[in-house]
């Protein structure tokens, strides 16, 4: 007899959601996470006792219904509305509103031909260029979407960007949590059987389900949900659906060199912003903590394009943007974030994977199967893959 009804591999938003929904359905679930914390791409850094900064995902919306349905407080009192500060470009060292870059005439001329067209099979660049014109794409949309996706946005599947979703009006429109988004996900995982420091090495079919091998020991279950990043999932699927695993592995993982700093509030000249859009500069975005102001500190996570600047050059760049000196940085940290570089072919591959695994005890969930946002990953995971 297998030990568990379900083993979930990976403790990011996808794995937590899949495990929490399965537990609600009365199943005996264990969640195995390779690292020493839950959250995956939701990574909240706590450099000072009462100040934290997001190193990965930073914004959750009230359209993330699958996650909000797991919230322990149905009145959402544990969620903190984000203050209304906007995203800006930087022009001559000063924030410039994205509206300043809209070519209204070009948009008016192209919009009637692009509206209402099907997005299926198109990439974001093709779809938005047809909708608003090439000039608007280059000046505004390409850099703004690159800031959202932390990678070049042109090849991303159009049907996976900005899906129409129902809003849960009782929850704040955009929110965070007292423990940041990692803190929120950890709260949603309360009551789950979570085992940290457990990288799954291999996965194989067994008599009544699946068997997985860990660094120390093995576990069995009737079913497994793989909620690990795409390249890890491809490795685990190697002997189950070899041809599809090989195609999955061919999807590039985009690397983002995140460098975060916390600065005494009085030292920063940049006015309060939600973040900056890097455009042609060396960073995709610089995301601030100004949406939850602190009297003493301001924090910024710069998501740098890979391979352009070394650590010292990044520090000089951050200081120049913030209007301070590198010596003013009271705390700093760096990490590499990884996200799949999705294309319209990813949409078709997701469909093929789902159908090939349908008759097996293996399910796949993750940010490469329905879109990169927390909400899209959670919708898919709530359905169990």
Nearer Cβ to ligand FAD, position 225 or 262?
225
Shortest distance in whole angstroms from residue 11 CB to ligand FAD: 5
Among 7, 23, 56, 90, binds ligand FAD (CB under 6 A): 56
Among 35, 98, 135, 384, binds ligand FAD (CB under 6 A): 35
Shortest distance in whole angstroms from residue 102 CB to ligand FAD: 23
Site string for ligand FAD, 298-317 (x = CB under 6 A): -----x--------------
Q: What is the DSSP letter of 51?
A: E
Q: Considering only CA atoms, which of 273, 249, 374 is closest in space to residue 321?
A: 273
What gap in Å lies between CA 293 and CA 291, rounded to an integer?
6
Measured over the CA atoms of residue 332, residue 294, residue 49 and residue 12, the dihedral's sign is negative
Among 68, 188, 203, 339, binds ligand FAD (CB under 6 A): 339
What gap in Å lies between CA 327 and CA 236, rounded to an integer?
45
**Binding segment (CB under 6 A) for ligand FAD, from list 157-165, 224-232, 292-300, 312-320:** 224-232
What gap in Å lies between CA 368 and CA 347, rounded to an integer?
8
Q: Considering only CA atoms, which of 48, 57, 224, 77 is closest in space to residue 150?
A: 57
By three-state DSSP, how is residue 104 classified? helix
121: left (phi over 0), alpha (psi -120 to 50) or beta: left
Nearer Cβ to ligand FAD, position 136 or 151?
151
Tell me: does residue 32 bind ligand FAD (CB under 6 A). yes
Site string for ligand FAD, 146-185 (x = CB under 6 A): ----x-----------------------------------
Tell me: does residue 324 bind ligand FAD (CB under 6 A). no
Tell me: does residue 40 bind ligand FAD (CB under 6 A). yes
Residues ≥6 apart with Cβ < 8 Å to 207: none
What gap in Å lies between CA 305 and CA 331, rounded to an integer?
22
Which residues bind to ligand FAD, rule: CB under 6 A?
Answer: 9-15, 32-35, 40-42, 56-59, 150, 199-200, 227-229, 232, 256, 303, 337, 339, 366-367, 372-375, 377
């Amino acid at each position: 007899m297998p030990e568990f009804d379900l083993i979930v591999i990976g403790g990011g938003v996808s794995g937590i959601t899949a495990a929490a929904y399965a537990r609600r359905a009365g199943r005996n679930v264990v969640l195995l996470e390779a690292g020493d914390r839950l959250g995956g791409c939701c990574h909240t850094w706590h450099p000072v006792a009462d100040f934290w900064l997001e190193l990965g995902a930073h914004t959750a919306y009230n359209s993330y219904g699958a996650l909000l349905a797991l919230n322990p407080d149905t009145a959402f009192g544990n969620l903190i509305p984000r203050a209304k500060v906007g995203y800006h470009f930087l022009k001559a060292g000063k924030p410039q509103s994205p509206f300043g870059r809209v070519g209204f005439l070009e948009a008016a001329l192209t919009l009637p031909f692009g509206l209402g067209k099907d997005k299926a099979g198109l990439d974001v660049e093709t779809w938005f260029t047809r909708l608003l014109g090439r000039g608007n794409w280059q000046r505004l949309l390409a850099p703004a979407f690159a800031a959202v996706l932390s990678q070049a946005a042109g090849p991303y599947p159009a049907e996976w960007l900005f899906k129409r979703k129902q809003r849960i009006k009782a929850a704040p429109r955009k929110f965070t949590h007292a423990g940041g988004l990692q803190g929120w996900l950890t709260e949603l995982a309360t009551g789950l059987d979570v085992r940290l420091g457990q990288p799954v090495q291999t996965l194989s079919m067994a008599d009544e389900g699946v068997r997985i091998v860990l660094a120390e020991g093995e576990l069995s279950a009737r079913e497994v949900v793989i909620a690990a990043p795409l390249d890890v999932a491809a490795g685990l699927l190697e002997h189950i659906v070899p041809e599809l695993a090989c195609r999955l592995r061919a999807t590039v993982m985009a690397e983002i060199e995140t460098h975060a700093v916390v600065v005494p509030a009085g030292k920063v000249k940049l006015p309060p912003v939600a973040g900056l859009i890097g455009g042609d500069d060396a960073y995709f975005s610089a995301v601030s903590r100004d949406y939850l102001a602190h009297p003493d500190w301001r924090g910024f996570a710069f998501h740098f394009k890979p391979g352009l600047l070394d650590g010292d050059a990044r520090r000089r760049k951050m200081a120049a943007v913030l209007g301070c000196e590198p010596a003013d940085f009271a705390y700093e940290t760096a990490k590499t974030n990884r996200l799949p570089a999705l294309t319209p072919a990813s949409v078709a591959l997701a469909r093929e994977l789902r159908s090939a695994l349908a008759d097996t005890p293996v399910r796949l969930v993750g940010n490469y199967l329905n879109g990169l946002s927390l909400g899209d990953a959670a919708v898919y995971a709530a359905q169990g893959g």
